[in-house]
Amino acid sequence: MSRMSSTASAPPAGRYAPSPSGDLHLGNLRTALLAWLFARGSGRRFVLRVDDLDRVRPGAEERQLADLAAIGLDWDGPVTRQSDRLDHYAAAVDKLTSAGLTYECFCTRREIQQAATAPHGPLGGAYPGTCRELTPAERAQRRAAGKPAALRLRSARTEFEIIDRLHGRYRGPIDDLVLRRGDGIPAYNLTVVVDDAEQGVDQVVRGDDLLPSTPRQAYLATLLDLPIPEYAHVPLVLNTEGKRLAKRDGAVTLSDRLARGETVDRVVGLLAGSLGLAGRGAEELLAGFDTDRLPREPWVLDPDRLVVVGRCP
């Protein structure tokens, strides 16, 4: 469902950007609903972007879009896909490289993990800068040995502060984050910054599991001379064990619930109830939506009963 509009002349936007690695579960749908409510409730456009640079399962994107439309969400303009925007990410990397802000990294994941978990390893598992000061000869030697090189940011900061709509001021560590992986694929922290800025997204609503990475993204935006959006990291839906809801937890997708004889209205009502709202569709929920009254804690869902059973202690 699309409301066509011109990005150049349209107001700012909120967005939802799923990865087409499988069907959306109820936690994903809840976050998408919140992103839509935040955007529409503040007079913004709402755009959809498919983060398809990593895991892509055939048919997943189509099912995701169908589920979002089924719960009453609409969006402005066509759906965009990161796989169509590789030249935009390359231009951003070129800008940083021209400014002397990148370097090649030959570390394996295991080496990075071992350094991060060492007794005197970097705070918060940040990259310790192992390859930061390699000489040109040392880099050439590693390339000649066939070691794939990721491209990292040469950061001048160790911390950066952002302001979140739900969490307030949040300061997180900044390290030499990966911009381009060793296989040549642009990294998420780069692509999300470039995409949001170019699509006019000035409001980012997503799960609070992504809050720790947000200072890195905001800092990177400043280096690229891009605006920092308004953030709202919303509580996740958890399973009865207190872990993030996943498809392995049972009948947790919309199609699962419909196959059990439930209705879309029933599922939307559950999501609404977990947010302290009442209504059978997205448009009805919008009328009573108040960001200041949203819960700040995770909610626990029992998929077998399809009820919210409480807050996570």
CA distance 84 to 226: 21
Cβ atoms of 176 and 153 within 8 Å: the answer is yes
CB atoms within 10 A of CB 42: 15
Smallest CA-to-CA distance from 274 within 238, 230, 244, 246 is with 238
Question: Annotation-wise, does 51 bind a ligand?
Answer: yes
Q: Is 105 annotated as a binding residue?
A: yes
- Phi and psi for 304 in degrees, rounded to 5? -70, -30
**266 among the known binding-site residues?**
no
The answer to whether the annotation marks 235 as part of a ligand binding site is no
Question: Do the annotations mark residue 243 as ligand-binding?
Answer: no
Phi-psi region for residue 186, left (φ > 0), alpha (ψ -120 to 50) or beta?
Answer: beta
Phi and psi of 290, rounded to 5°? -140, 110
Q: How many CA atoms are closer than 13 Å to the CA of 235, on its beta-carbon side?
A: 20
Q: Is 110 annotated as a binding residue?
A: no
Q: Is 89 annotated as a binding residue?
A: no
DSSP H helical ranges for 42-85: 60-70
User: Is residue 123 classed exposed, middle or buried when 0-12, 13-18 and 19+ CB atoms within 10 A define those classes?
Assistant: exposed
Cβ(52)–Cβ(82) under 8 Å? yes
* CA–CA dist 281, 259 (Å, integer): 20
- The answer to the question of whether 231 is labelled as a binding residue is no
The residue count of the chain comes to: 313
Is 2 flagged in the annotation as binding?
A: no
Binding residues for Zn(2+): 105, 107, 127, 131
Binding residues for ATP: 247
Binding residues: 15-19, 51, 105, 107, 127, 131, 188, 206, 247
Binding residues for L-glutamate: 15-19, 51, 188, 206
